[in-house]
Amino acid sequence: MQNNLPEAYVHLSADKTILTFYYDALRAERDGTTWGIEDKKEYLNDLIPAWVGNSKSPNTSILTAVFDASFRDFRPTTTAGWFQYFPRLKSIEGLEHLNTSQVTDMTSMFEECESLTALDLSSFGTSNVTNMSEMFSGCSSLTSLDLSSFDTSKVTDMRGMFSWCSSLTTLDLSTFDTSKVTNMSNMFWQCSSLTSLDLSSFDTSKVRFMGIMFHKCSSLTSLDLSNFDTSKVKKMDSMFSWCSALTSLDLSRFDTSKVTDMSGMFSWCSALTTIYCNSSWSYDNSGDMFYGCDSLKGVVTYVKERNDVSMANPERGYFTKKVLAQEDEAYVHLSADKKTLTFYFDRERNFRMRCYAWGIEETILQNDKRTPAWLSSKVASKEKITKIVIDESFRNVVPKTTAGWFEGLTALEEIRGLDNLNTSEVTDMSRMFAGCGALRSLDVSRFDTLNVKQMQQMFMGCAALTEIDLKYAKFADEFEEKYVNQGYNTERTIEETLDIGWELLRILPRSELKRISDKWLDMYYEAK
């Protein structure tokens, strides 16, 4: 009796050059070799997919891999090693037919696919993936890799993920959520063509292994790790070794209290002149820590025979003391989960390392207008932010503008601490809350708007606001129309001006006018 049930299998063409993935009932009818999708073979005490090569015997015949349209109906739970050791594989067709929504393991998925020059992974669903170790390791011909659609919120292992991707010149990881990652060792090993690497969005608070992380990233001229939390890291061996173009490193925020291995950490960083650090490091396993760092200019002159951890200090060694800012500053901080923006005024900006921060006056030119930096950054996704907090410390800030501060935060559900926002000198509130469509309540009763000249579109698109909030929106519009836009040639008596003022105030319920004496409210607000 013939089995007509579909099954997932891999088919090798008769000439052994094409590998096709099917999910149908036709396996028995196809010429050539086939394997079930779950078939394994043993290699070095491990089990790998039956159709792949290995380090001792790579599959050099396969040139093309194809996902048949039928495969879209299959839901694998792993793609680990599926294309491992196919050194002549030049293209993978039909990746849009690979449904990865249930996949938890992508370990070594494309490892040693050294002929692949491009990969379109825009259709990949990675929300359940926990392991991406060595996923692209050895893809030495890849020139670009767009991972902007990747959801890495459950990933715990990124070990060797991009190792030996020696042709990559850029790598945008600004959308990566690394809050659960524990292993980043070898992550960028031998990415020798990378000229820049923005890791400002990385949350490393749970990472334990960073050994060989940037080994032989020989084209990197700078590396900003100011947000790295290394409080749980155990291994930093060869972390920056052979980064021969780096001229300086700021490690002033590094906590090395749990590190047990620093051997070769900076070895052969031949252009490195300055390592900023505020603390002494004293651990046994630190051989060749500074070997070949001939350009280092710390407190003492570099001596090749003295290259262990004893020289890792700014008082008598090769480190340079980093002087941190001692003045309070106003800034906006993004939480590690990228859901909360908090406004601070303190000296702690450099210490809030879990994600990113922007100065309150930082703006970026977009579409011919200045936009607050925290809204225009790739790090802070407008669609993710659900909460704004104005910290109590922010009371001491007197901004001149709040224009567009929360514009376009479509998922914003609450704003805490608006009482801490001093608006006494603000002249521009235009588009301040525009597009905050999920915001249901907003108490701006304590806003001082005496100096405000612009309020246009302040509440535009705030469709979910309560009736009272909408009245404030109407007040803002009427205020702008009758006062701000009245023109230089408008002539009014004091009495007429006051009458208009009371007319505007009547838009709001009397209960909201807490700063006006009951005496004047009885006399003028109630007057019709």
Task: Supply the pLDDT for residue 397.
Answer: 93
The tokens describing 418, both together, are 């608006």
DSSP state of 105: B
DSSP letters, 413-433, are -EEE-GGG---TT--B-TTSS
Residue 210 near residue 185 (C-beta atoms within 8 A): yes
Residue 50 near residue 77 (C-beta atoms within 8 A): no
Strand bridging mode 64-67 / 18-24: parallel
Q: How far is CA 27 from CA 16, 20, 36, 51, in A?
A: 17, 11, 9, 15
| pLDDT tens digits for range 294-350 | 999 888 989 989 999 999 988 889 999 877 556 788 999 998 888 999 999 998 887
Task: Supply the pLDDT for residue 262.
Answer: 95
Q: Measured between alpha carbons, how far is 271 from 352 in angstroms, rounded to an integer?
A: 30
Q: Measured between alpha carbons, how far is 164 from 218 in angstroms, rounded to an integer?
A: 12
- 519: helix, strand or coil: helix
Q: Measured between alpha carbons, how far is 171 from 214 in angstroms, rounded to an integer?
A: 14
| CA-based end-to-end distance of the chain | 92
Tokens 């960028």 correspond to 188
Question: Each residue's pLDDT tens digit in the chain (528 positions)?
Answer: 356 899 999 999 999 999 999 999 999 999 989 999 999 999 988 899 999 999 899 999 999 999 999 999 999 999 999 999 999 999 999 999 999 999 999 999 999 999 999 999 999 999 999 999 999 999 999 998 999 999 999 999 999 999 999 999 999 998 999 999 999 999 999 999 999 898 988 999 999 999 999 999 999 999 989 889 999 999 999 999 999 999 999 998 899 989 999 999 999 999 999 999 877 787 778 999 999 999 998 889 899 899 999 999 888 899 998 775 567 889 999 988 889 999 999 988 877 755 688 899 888 777 777 889 898 877 778 889 999 999 999 999 999 999 999 999 999 999 999 999 999 999 999 999 999 989 888 888 888 888 888 888 888 888 766 555 555 665 666 666 666 566 556 677 777 777 777 776 676 667 666 667 777 777 777 665
R_g of the chain, CA atoms, integer Å: 30
Residue 321 near residue 294 (C-beta atoms within 8 A): no
Q: How far is CA 510 from CA 482, 504, 520, 522, in A?
A: 21, 12, 11, 10
Task: Supply the pLDDT for residue 59.
Answer: 93
- 189: helix, strand or coil: coil
Characterize 371-383 residue by residue with b for buried, 16 or more Cβ atoms within 10 angstroms of its Cβ, and e for exposed.
Answer: bbbbbbbebbebe
Domain residues of the chain, as ranges? 1-100, 329-466
Residue 237 near residue 259 (C-beta atoms within 8 A): no
User: What residue type is assigned to position 459 of the chain?
Assistant: F
Task: Supply the pLDDT for residue 1.
Answer: 39
The tokens describing 434, both together, are 């525009």
- 309: helix, strand or coil: helix
Phi, psi of 495 (to 5 degrees): -60, -45
Dihedral class, residue 211 (left if φ above 0, else alpha if ψ from -120 to 50, else beta) = beta
Task: Supply the pLDDT for residue 154.
Answer: 97
Q: Measured between alpha carbons, how far is 221 from 223 in angstroms, rounded to an integer?
A: 7
pTM (two decimals)? 0.67
- 340: helix, strand or coil: strand
Of 81, 79, 72, give the one whose Cα is nearest residue 103. 79
Of 404, 467, 468, give the one whose Cα is nearest residue 436. 404
The tokens describing 389, both together, are 């907090």
Q: How far is CA 344 from CA 39, 124, 399, in A?
A: 56, 38, 13
Residue 13 near residue 34 (C-beta atoms within 8 A): no
Q: Taking every pair of C-alpha atoms in the chain, what is the biggest distance, in angstroms?
A: 100
The tokens describing 181, both together, are 């990652």
